[in-house]
């Protein structure tokens, strides 16, 4: 919500560390999707679907700007 500048190098480093924790410590499969510039919050797409075994629960994000994310994870 703020207009603060994002340190892109730091953000990338933090994202890489986050993905590594998910993969190595939690032993989760991480599927990375290509960026979609039309979805301003696409970096947070991890909560658009929850998968357990052979079942996927596709969510409905509360923010209207995030609803397009569901299209990409439900394919």
Give SS3 for 37: coil
| CA torsion, ordered 61, 65, 67, 69, to nearest 10 deg | -100
Q: Write down the pLDDT at residue 67.
A: 74
- Residue 37 is encoded by which pair of tokens? 């510039």
pTM of the model: 0.61
pLDDT of residue 42: 63
For tokens 């990409």, the residue is 72
> 19: exposed, middle or buried (C-beta count within 10 Å: 0-12, 13-18, 19+)?
middle
Instruction: Kindly report the backbone phi and psi dihedral angles of residue 57, in degrees, each rounded to the nearest multiple of 5, phi listed first.
Output: -105, 115
The band of 70, judged by pLDDT with boundaries at 50, 70 and 90, is: confident
Q: What tens digit of pLDDT does each residue of 1-55 get? A: 567 788 889 988 998 999 999 999 999 888 887 777 787 666 655 667 778 888 8
pLDDT of amino acid 25: 96
């Amino acid at each position: 919500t703020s207009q603060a500048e994002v340190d892109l190098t730091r953000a990338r480093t933090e994202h890489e560390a986050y993905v590594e924790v998910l993969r190595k410590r939690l032993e989760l499969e991480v599927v990375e999707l290509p960026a979609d510039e039309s979805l301003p919050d696409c970096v947070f797409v991890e909560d658009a679907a929850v998968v357990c075994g052979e079942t996927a629960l596709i969510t409905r994000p509360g923010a209207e700007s995030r609803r397009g994310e569901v299209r990409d994870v439900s394919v």
